[in-house]
Amino acid sequence: MKAILHPARAVTLAFLAAVMVGTVLLMLPAARADGSGAPWIVALFTAVSAVCVTGLVTVDTGTYWSAFGQATIMVLFQLGGFGMMTAATLLGLMVNRSPRLRTRLMTQTESRTLALGDVSSVAKVVLVVTVLVQLVVAVILILRLHLGYGFGWLEAGWSGLFHTVSAFNNAGFSIHADGLSRYASDAMILGPVMLAIFIGGIGFPVLHDLRHRWRDPRHWSLHSKLTLSGTLVLLAGGFLAALVFEWHNPRTIGPFAVADKLLNSLFISVSARTAGFNAIDIGALTHETWALHYLLMFIGGGSAGTAGGVKVGTVAVLFLLVLAEVKGHPDAEAFGRRVGTSAQRQAITVLVLGSVVVAVGTIILLRISEFPTDQIIFEVISAFGTVGLSTGITAQLPVTGQLVLALLMFFGRVGTITLAASLVLSERRMPYRYPEEHPIVG
Amino acid sequence: MKAILHPARAVTLAFLAAVMVGTVLLMLPAARADGSGAPWIVALFTAVSAVCVTGLVTVDTGTYWSAFGQATIMVLFQLGGFGMMTAATLLGLMVNRSPRLRTRLMTQTESRTLALGDVSSVAKVVLVVTVLVQLVVAVILILRLHLGYGFGWLEAGWSGLFHTVSAFNNAGFSIHADGLSRYASDAMILGPVMLAIFIGGIGFPVLHDLRHRWRDPRHWSLHSKLTLSGTLVLLAGGFLAALVFEWHNPRTIGPFAVADKLLNSLFISVSARTAGFNAIDIGALTHETWALHYLLMFIGGGSAGTAGGVKVGTVAVLFLLVLAEVKGHPDAEAFGRRVGTSAQRQAITVLVLGSVVVAVGTIILLRISEFPTDQIIFEVISAFGTVGLSTGITAQLPVTGQLVLALLMFFGRVGTITLAASLVLSERRMPYRYPEEHPIVG
Ligand SMILES: [K+]
Ligand SMILES: [K+]
């Protein structure tokens, strides 16, 4: 039995449907704390932000929405994260199922379908991972909040559950207006949160390799090796850069003890790449840390997970290509494998189109608002990378600006993944070739 | 008879030597208007800026330097422009002399030399073009300044010559502190200046095609077709964008008559791409026009000319690659030719390394100065693209910041061109290939 829709289109439609249902639910009077019903733009923006696991908000999640509203938001980002992890894994399988890629690819290009059996088995495994990880992290957080902060079980349970689901799905929503700032020096909170962010954001294909070939890293896929090593480089680089850039900043980690400086620099590095939690005020960071965020937020996390951005694997492919060219090698290679040229072209295309989207979004927002460029760039990349960090201007943007951000979130979340899959599926041979010419470069 | 040095290294050394000689000359008391001798950092920065035809300055060219100093600067950017046009053309010939690229390339990779006959014949033609174009433009400007503004012949002659040489070499130096602002509504000045900028900046290979195959555009090289069409798109796009973004700006073209709005928007578009003249205050432009400048300045002009940036042809190759991928075509193609894959890889490498340099330069300058990010990005791209426009912060940067800018100018001018050539010349076959794998992208 076969499914019937072009998979990239099916994913897009599913996410649009989730946004619409979410918007309607959030406009119900019962969703708002004061029972008055939220305006359409607030409901729409929040629904897009939740479904796209971004976390940008124009209202304070903890006080504006009722318990029902908050639960709706949580369900939306849980579904958004779960749906995307499943969908992206399936899309990845379609183009990457076996080493004999070309054969497989050709068959599937013709049929352009997925067997339903694939769908349900992948979904099952993703569900198990999701539930297991969230269970462990939620228990730790709830215990910590109850024992360490004197929260009642109900309050600790709700806060622990909400932040766990938000962390695993890299959603970045918090029921506190200042995010996790109140726990900035509590490794027992930030630690489990970072773990959930990492596991959710590294992507299903890597988790699969880690689980099934734990003792045999040599046989991990090239994708897993690239994603894991790239992630480590980004985490370490982001940590060191944040530490240096913020060390003396009196408005952020400057006054902290050394251990807390280390903890919070690490948290910045982990969270900036796509989760979007903040334990310190983003608006108070130095300009160079903002610039660091531009890079980390644009790159994002692992493919086929809850993370956004253009993905670590994509950037790794570009890096290998440039490295090969600089060394004069004909092949982009790593870990004893060469990267297929079609993967290289797809990586470049995703990066270029992503950059174009960010550039266009930036110019539009500069045009329709009066905020400085650095805050606009931050907001645009945060939306595109579905990060959700903000220097604090989201709520003050005009409605058109918020709609632009919503489009950026949707394209950043759904577009980059479906684009890559569409590129692979649309590959075809041409009946002729033009003669080659070598234009001057540089 | 053969030359003896790796050409990329020879070009780098020649430019370093010119910078050193220029620095020494500008430190002479005779070079400064008050006869006191300029500090080393002022002399060095000015020499780098002149040799690299950038036009960024920390002192006012017209009042700080004596006539001897100004003449030294003019000779430096004349030599810098002439030298680079010649050198880049030669480097381009080495890798691109005939359609049978691969054969040619292999021979030359082994010898890595240039015949001296090539050098002198190319230099001769470049010299003829340089003298002819500058003669025509200078005569027009001098007449206009004498007849239209009542300048004496000496004053008109010096100003006309200086600005002509500066325009043709895309150097952007002016002997007026406010650039060409006093001529902002004079098409008889801005027109010839734009012509000189265009001819100097389109690059020698295109000029060669235009001259020898004027009536036969079908047989122009792919490089010429890409560069000309890309340049037209950028000029038109930049013109329209600047017109829209500045139309109502009371501090720039807002108060102008419609004809002057059109003229100055065109001038912004022509000049932003690498020349670096300004007829209106860059610091007064809207933030969205600054962002437009980021793009135009980074791209720059044509290869093997006086223009900077990563070059129009480089970006055109990337565009064709992405277009092919989106269409599902195996080849990047245009005008009935396909772009060689090695040219694609070189283009990507130049773009990626250029972006990395800009990002690193930005973060360093953010770290060592207190200026807002948008002005820092502007300054960094302006230096890297050897544009020379500034929002006005150059002189206020600390010495380390000015040294960073000097490095950016040098890398932007010498690095991008020698990098591309080195990439081609370093190509080699490997005795083995690894098995292929297709990592997930996006
Ligand atoms: K997020
Ligand atoms: K210039």
Residue-wise DSSP of A125-169: HHHHHHHHHHHHHHHHHHHHHHHHH---HHHHHHHHHHHHHHHHT
Q: How high is the pLDDT of residue B5?
A: 55
How far is the C-alpha of B25 from the C-alpha of B18, rounded, in Å? 11
Residue A244 lies in a domain: yes
Contacts of A360 (CB under 8 A, 6+ apart): none
The tens digit of pLDDT for each residue in A326-341 reads 888 888 888 988 888 8
The tens digit of pLDDT for each residue in A101-134 reads 333 333 444 444 445 566 677 788 888 888 999 9
pLDDT band at B201; cut points 50, 70, 90: very high
CB contact at 8 A, A246 and A252: yes
- Across the interface, do A345 and B321 touch by the CB < 8 Å criterion? yes
Give me ligand 1 centre to Cα A175, in Å.
Answer: 14
In the predicted structure, residue A393 carries a pLDDT above the cut 90: yes
Residue A431 lies in a domain: no
Q: Taking chain A, what is the end-to-end CA distance rounded to the nearest angstrom?
A: 53
Nearest-by-CA chain B residue for A99: B437
Q: How high is the pLDDT of residue B427?
A: 67
Q: How high is the pLDDT of residue A97?
A: 42
A25 and chain B in contact, CB less than 8 A: no
Instruction: Tell me the chain B residues in contact with residue A295 when contact means C-beta distances shorter than 8 Å.
Output: 359
A89 and chain B in contact, CB less than 8 A: no
pLDDT band at A85; cut points 50, 70, 90: confident
Tokens of B130: 């340089």
Nearest-by-CA chain B residue for A315: B441
How far is the C-alpha of B421 from the C-alpha of B425, rounded, in Å? 6
- Across the interface, do B329 and A428 touch by the CB < 8 Å criterion? yes
Q: Nearest Cβ partner of B345 from A288, A321, A420?
A: A321
Residue A116 lies in a domain: yes
Q: How high is the pLDDT of residue B110?
A: 40
Q: Residue A112 class from Cβ within 10 Å (0-12 exposed, 13-18 middle, 19+ buried)? A: middle
CB contact at 8 A, B179 and B55: no
Amino acid identity for residue A66 in this structure = S
Ligand sitting nearest the alpha carbon of A200: 1
Residue B438 lies in a domain: no
Strand duo A337-339 + A436-437: pairing? unpaired
Instruction: Tell me the chain B residues in contact with residue A438 when contact means C-beta distances shorter than 8 Å.
Output: 95-96, 101, 339-340, 342-343
Residue A57 lies in a domain: yes
Residue A440 lies in a domain: no
Q: How high is the pLDDT of residue A122?
A: 77
> Taking residues B430-439, what's their average pLDDT?
74
- A177-198 core/surface letters (b: 16 or more CB in 10 A; e: else): eebbeebbebeebbbbbbbbbb
- Closest-CA distance, B35 to chain A, in angstroms, reads 41
How far is the C-alpha of A428 from the C-alpha of B408, rounded, in Å? 42
Closest residue by Cα to residue A423 from B329, B436, B338: B329
Give the residue numbers spanning the domain of A172.
Answer: 7-425
Residue A435 lies in a domain: no
Q: How high is the pLDDT of residue B92?
A: 73
Q: Residue A109 class from Cβ within 10 Å (0-12 exposed, 13-18 middle, 19+ buried)? A: middle
- Closest-CA distance, A198 to chain B, in angstroms, reads 18
What is the tally of structural domains in chain A? 1
Q: In angstroms, what CA-CA distances link B375 with A262, A355, B291, B420?
A: 31, 20, 10, 29
Please give the mean pLDDT across all residues of chain A: 87
Nearest-by-CA chain A residue for B314: A441
> Taking residues A368-388, what's their average pLDDT?
94
- With a threshold of 0.90, tell me whether the complex ipTM lies above it: no
A77 and chain B in contact, CB less than 8 A: no
- Across the interface, do A101 and B303 touch by the CB < 8 Å criterion? no
Residue A434 lies in a domain: no
How far is the C-alpha of B435 from the C-alpha of B232, rounded, in Å? 43
Neighbouring residues of the ion ligand 2, judged by CB less than 5 Å: B 54-55, 170, 172, 276, 388
pLDDT band at A5; cut points 50, 70, 90: low
pLDDT band at A2; cut points 50, 70, 90: very low
Closest residue by Cα to residue B314 from A440, A369, A32: A440
How far is the C-alpha of B246 from the C-alpha of B272, rounded, in Å? 14
